[in-house]
Amino acid sequence: VRADEAWAEEVRRLADERDAVLLAHNYQLPEIQEIADHTGDSLALSRIAAASDASTIVFCGVHFMAETAKILAPDKTVLIPDARAGCSLADSITGEQLREWKAQHPGAVVVSYVNTTAEVKAETDICCTSSNAVDVVASIPSDTEVLFCPDQFLGAHVRRETGRQNLHVWAGECHVHAGINGPELAERAQADPEADLFIHPECGCATSALYLAGEGTVAPGRVKILSTGDMLKAAKQTKAGSVLVATETGMLHQLRKAAPEIDFRAVNDRATCRYMKLITPAALLRALREGVDEVHVDPETARLARASVQRMIEIGK
């Protein structure tokens, strides 16, 4: 299936027929981003899903994102074009493992990244995203222990920003972001000393970037640790002529659209998420034709998970 004019027309026709809204994450293939009604980061898309009038949500992203949409909009039909689109980070902690960790730290508050399964969210006190993790942890009384999962690099970022010693971090990681490493970033930054660095906090290189700023290799104001949504805002504000981007390469499409005059370059151009890329033009067509793959969350799990997502939304951002 080619993403040509005929394909686009058929997708639009079927979406109308199903009363479906098409959502695409910033890491999707450019042709999927272009056909979608909305693009954005994981949380922004879930909020759009919940507020939409459409009876069906087609979530072009990975499974935990579609699950979050279902948790927030339980009465809508939520489809993901390929249910095999998982996430190595979400898979790095199970509900059972979290229950065991909690038993070792009675009284601790559990903060989980949205990149988790519904079962893990149901065991969580407050969810967070990469854009509000620091605010969420800062909202918890300073003498209360915090269990932060599952991403170790985002956890290290939060610990650095809050200076909190009673924050315990789970040793999970995203294979794509962990692979964007410090030496690679240093080499790129040295070759382009005028460039801004936009770095997702899940990256293995986030600590090295701040170290480069500390030793003066990169001007401190040029290092920006940002979620995908915040990268787009920063792209519209920066005065830099070029930006080195450390995240999944699908992000470059939206960045180039937001600021065509800036030269955006990937720190690691092999940083592609194979799960995100399972959502092909053919898979989207199949989803709309056949009404598959439908996402279900057990109602009691969804009720508990919704409380942790809503607590995050109340904290702001």
Residues of the shown chain interacting with ligand 13P in the complex, contacts defined by CB under 6 A: 41-42, 115, 129-130, 174, 177, 202, 227-228, 248
Q: For residue 87, state whether it binds ligand SF4 (rule: CB under 6 A).
A: yes
What values do phi and psi take at 241, rounded to 5? -85, -25
DSSP state of 143: T
Q: For residue 174, state whether it binds ligand SF4 (rule: CB under 6 A).
A: yes
Closest CA to 115 of 51, 68, 76: 68
227 makes contact, choosing from ligand 13P, ligand SF4, none, with CB < 5 to 8 Å by partner type, with ligand 13P
Q: What does the buried/exposed string (b/e) look like for 165-183 if buried means 16 or more CB atoms within 10 Å of the residue's CB?
A: eebbbbebbbebbbebebe
245 makes contact, choosing from ligand 13P, ligand SF4, none, with CB < 5 to 8 Å by partner type, with none
We find the least distance from the C-beta atom of residue 21 to ligand 13P, in angstroms, to be: 18
- H helix or E strand, kind and range, residue 23: strand 20-25
Query: What gap in Å lies between CA 87 and CA 206, rounded to an integer?
Result: 20
Q: CB-wise, 140 or 275, nearer to ligand SF4?
A: 275
With contacts defined by CB under 6 A, name the span among 33-41, 123-131, 173-181, 233-241 that binds ligand SF4: 173-181
Give the CA angle between residues 87, 93, 97 to the nearest 5°. Answer: 160
SS3 label, residue 14: helix
Q: CB-wise, 29 or 108, nearer to ligand 13P?
A: 29
Calculate the CA 306 to chain-centre distance. 18
Q: CB-wise, 28 or 42, nearer to ligand 13P?
A: 42
Q: CB-wise, 174 or 288, nearer to ligand SF4?
A: 174
**Contact letters for ligand SF4, residues 216-245 (x by CB under 6 A):** ------------------------------
Closest CA to 271 of 295, 249, 288: 249
Q: How much of the chain is helix, strand and coil, in % rounded to 5?
A: 45, 15, 35
With contacts defined by CB under 6 A, name the span among 93-101, 187-195, 228-236, 272-280 that binds ligand SF4: 272-280
309 makes contact, choosing from ligand 13P, ligand SF4, none, with CB < 5 to 8 Å by partner type, with none
DSSP state of 173: -
129 makes contact, choosing from ligand SF4, ligand 13P, none, with CB < 5 to 8 Å by partner type, with ligand 13P
β 196-199/167-169 pair status: unpaired
Q: CB-wise, 217 or 272, nearer to ligand 13P?
A: 272
Q: CB-wise, 173 or 192, nearer to ligand SF4?
A: 173
Strand partners, 243: 196, 264
CB 251 within 8 A of CB 28: no
Q: How far apart are the first and last CA of the chain?
A: 39
CB 82 within 8 A of CB 274: no
We find the least distance from the C-beta atom of residue 227 to ligand SF4, in angstroms, to be: 11
We find the least distance from the C-beta atom of residue 142 to ligand 13P, in angstroms, to be: 26
We find the least distance from the C-beta atom of residue 314 to ligand SF4, in angstroms, to be: 25
* Residues within the interface to ligand SF4 (CB under 6 A): 62, 87-89, 115, 174, 176-177, 248, 273, 275-276
